[in-house]
Structure 1
Amino acid sequence: MVTTDVQTLLRQEFELAKAEVRQEATKASKAAGMYGGAGFAGYMVLLFLSLAAVLGLANVMDGGWASLIVTAVWAVIAAVLYQRGRTQMRDVSPKPEQTVETMKENAEWASHPTK
């Protein structure tokens, strides 16, 4: 009887873990699609803004120097964004927290079952 209960409990925990991971993956994929679209639109805006900046600076200095200045600004922005993304990625936890907690509770219960 206890063996059947433990098997049922483990099956339920496995199903909970699958559902939890599936739900989070669905939310993440939808958000990633939105980020992708926004990223492309932002890329186009920045591309044309950079071109406008180069052309604007080229009115007061040589075009090569204007291009170099705009490129240097983008290099600094890229370095800052990379560093911030790297820092935030360290906080990501891929394990299903709720399932881990209930598995600990189940393991404790299984070692001291009551009727």
Structure 2
Amino acid sequence: MDSDPTPSEQKAASTSLGDLLGEVTQDLSVLIRQEIALAKAELKESATKAGTGAGMIGGAGYAALMAVFFLSVALWWALGQLVGLGWSAVIVALIWAAVAAVLFFTGRNQIKEVKGAPRTVETLGKIPDALKRNEENR
């Protein structure tokens, strides 16, 4: 049962290996460029969404700040009815100083625990040694 060669088989039979490799290289180059363009488009879309989300979180942070401010004023005023406005302002300020101290020390301790990217640093440090071994083996 003899079958006729496919167009691909005919082209392969009549084209030199160098020309075929050139076509494969060109097709691979086009594919890589298309993948890079797709990645850029996806990253741009992701960055836009991330920027919008960050803006909304920033707005929420400002709203929370305003809420805390007005609650602090209300607490100052309410305590002022009991101990006088001067002392109530001191009490509210001390409460916020304590909150700030707790947040500061907690944040500082967490920053001390940051180790960066130790595995990446380790593997990047091995690259020069691997290159030296390859150069010695040539």
Shorter-chain TM-score category?
0.5 to 0.7
Q: Is 2:38 the partner of 1:16?
A: yes
Gaps of 5+ in 2: 1-22, 115-138
Q: With structure 1 as the length reference, what TM-score do the two structures score?
A: 0.56
Give the partner amino acid of 1:71: A
Give the partner amino acid of 1:46: V
Give the partner amino acid of 2:89: S
Secondary structure of 1:59's counterpart equals helix
Q: Is 2:28 the partner of 1:6?
A: yes
Q: Give 1 or 2 for the bigger CA radius of gyration.
A: 2
Gaps of 5+ in 1: 91-115
Q: What does residue 47 of structure 1 align with? A: 69
Give the Å deviation of 1:25.
Answer: 1.0
Q: What does residue 28 of structure 1 align with? A: 50
The alignment of Structure 1 onto Structure 2 pairs a total of residues equal to 87
Looking at structure 1, the residues matched to 53 and 76 of structure 2 have their Cα atoms a distance apart, in angstroms, of: 34
Identity score, percent: 43
Q: With structure 2 as the length reference, what TM-score do the two structures score?
A: 0.48
Looking at structure 1, the residues matched to 98 and 44 of structure 2 have their Cα atoms a distance apart, in angstroms, of: 38
Looking at structure 1, the residues matched to 29 and 89 of structure 2 have their Cα atoms a distance apart, in angstroms, of: 67
| Structure with more relative contact order (C-alpha pairs < 8 Å, separation 6 or more) | 1
RMSD of equivalent CA atoms: 3.0
